[in-house]
Amino acid sequence: MKKILLIILLSTSIIGCDKKSLEPIPPTSITEADAFGNTQRILQQILGMYSAVKTSDFYAGRQNVNMELRGEEFLNATLNVAAGLATWQFSLTPSNAEVQLTWRDAYAAINRSNIVFEGLQTTNVIPDALKKQYQGEARFLRALCHFSLVGLYARPYWDGNGSKLGIPLRLNAEKGGNNNIKRSTVAEVYSQILTDLDFAELNLPVSYSNAYDNTTRVHKNTAIALKTRVYLAMGNYAKVIQEANKIVTTTAPFRAASGVAHQLSPSISAVFSAPYTLPENVFSFAFTTLDAPTTAGIFYNPSPNGSGHNPLNPAGIISNAGWKSTDARRTFNQLSGTSTWLRKWPKNPSSESDYGTCIRYSEILLNLSEALVRQSNSVESQSIALLNAVRQRSDPTTVFTAGSFANAQDLLDQIAIERRIELLGEGFRSFDRLRLGQSLLGKGIAPTISTNDIQYIWPIPLSELLINSNCVQNPGY
């Protein structure tokens, strides 16, 4: 069989998918046949796909940090170019580091998933059901990467109903050459993302045998959860409701009735504390002392726990009078010096072992809450119940009723506030503003960016244009 270079994780003994199996081990070059030649090596290929996604410049932290820096909740205290200054102040060029490194790592992870998917098609050493499960994991991770890319480098779905240029869809393993792929439309990219997630939902397991794997590997409910986010970005609220109803009961206490029993944790602080495997954490990337890239904590924390790059904006959501001082989520906001810092990911200086948050159940409840209102254009009772579930977990003294809102827009405004509070620092602020066609607000010395400004989306990186003659730049760059 043709030899290709595969980066695999080899272990002297593999008993299960425990924490050891996710720690990095020196790469080895082997043939494709050997890489998929026995069950242990195949499992290492699967775990390697997750490692490819959780790099320093992607889902270890920079992906969510970059999305937050485009919003208005954080300042840039150090004005450090290496800490996303150009992203924060909307002065990006095609040669900026974050523009090129995010693209590089996302497509490397996509290629890793494609290699594994294709390698599994030719192996006969594992049962077909397990093969389909592993391929479902590959398709989920590919979808996550494509979704992250199209959200940064392409116009939002509302602009032309997906007709604008998206990103190159790389659906086959790159084994040398084949670089010249044109950009698909935004609609085509979203269609492929949903095709991958539907495949994943169909073939992934209902659950794993332990809480660690239920959090750090994807299962049916993980695919469903991500679909609610994708459909929300498209403005397809009927589909958000349809997907969310699979994993959210109709009445409180809201939970997933099948598969992994996702539900809100009684304590918000416990969600961001070891062992990080509560049912609220639908999907997170695990890190250990031996597997510690640059995570979100280094940006959001002051010295000695971080580098002191990005304190909270005093004019941002922390200034909202409705966010009570007794709200448990306020405990994440800690004063150090003259600035307030987000401490969801405390980052011990000697051990960057905070998990990388990707999907939480509270997001799903808020996705559904918003979709119900937008679909019905009314002050919808279930939407209020979902909003209350998230708010009252941390602030039991606040109770919203139908009388709290004069109309549907009032309720939508409150849901938006709740998203800003609940999901602060997790990469949602610019995502929410772009999907709703809102300007990116100024902060500090950074200007407000209108929806037709070239900086509303990222440029295609120069590194891609140099090797892909079919790829064109975003207008204005």
Q: How far apart, in whole angstroms, are the C-alpha atoms of residue 108 and residue 464?
A: 13
How many helices (H) and strands (E) the chain has is answered by 17, 6
Taking the C-alpha atoms of residue 139 and residue 117, their distance in angstroms, rounded to an integer, is 8
Measured in whole angstroms, the distance separating CA 23 from the mean position of its chain's CA atoms is: 21
The H or E element containing residue 136 is helix 128-153
Mean pLDDT over residues 104-130, rounded?
97
Q: What is the pLDDT of residue 179?
A: 84
Nearest-angstrom CA–CA distance, 431 and 435:
6
Amino acid 9: pLDDT: 34
Reported as a single tens digit per residue, the pLDDT across 256-311 is: 999 999 999 999 999 999 999 999 999 999 988 777 666 788 899 998 888 899 99
Q: Is residue 254 pLDDT above 60, yes or no?
A: yes
Which residue stretches of 154-248 are H helix? 186-203, 211-216, 220-234, 237-244
Amino acid in the structure at residue 19 = K
Is 116 within the bounds of a domain? yes
Q: Which residues contact 303 (CB under 8 A, 6 or more apart)?
A: none
Domain CATH for 119:
1.25.40.390
CA distance 426 to 405: 27
pLDDT at 13: 30
List, for residues 30-54, the tens digit of each pLDDT value: 567 688 989 999 999 999 999 999 9
**What b/e string do you get for 244-283 counting C-beta neighbours within 10 Å, with b at 16 or more?**
bebbbeeeeebebeebbebbbbeebeebbeeebbbbbbbb
pLDDT tens for 191-200 read: 999 999 999 9
Residue 305 forms part of a structural domain: no
Domain range for 40: 1-11+30-204+450-468
Please tell me whether residue 341 adopts helix, strand or coil conformation. Answer: strand
Q: Which helix (H) or strand (E) holds 184?
A: strand 183-185
**Do the domain assignments include residue 319?**
no
pLDDT confidence band for 8 (50 / 70 / 90): very low
- Which tens digits make up the pLDDT trace of 414-439? 999 999 999 999 999 999 999 999 99
395 in a domain, yes or no? no
In a domain, 338, yes or no: no
Residue 28, pLDDT > 60, answer no
Overall domain count for the chain: 1
Q: Would residue 340 count as lying in a domain?
A: no
Domain presence at residue 150: yes
Mean pLDDT of 137-146: 99
> String of b and e for 415-431 (b: at least 16 CB within 10 Å)?
bbbbbbbbbbbbbbbbb
The phi and psi torsions of 99 (rounded to 5 degrees) equal -65, -45
Examine residue 166 and state whether it is found in any structural domain, yes or no: yes
Segment 310-343, tens digit of pLDDT? 999 999 999 999 999 999 999 999 999 999 999 9
H or E element that contains 281: strand 281-285
Residue 288's pLDDT is what? 81
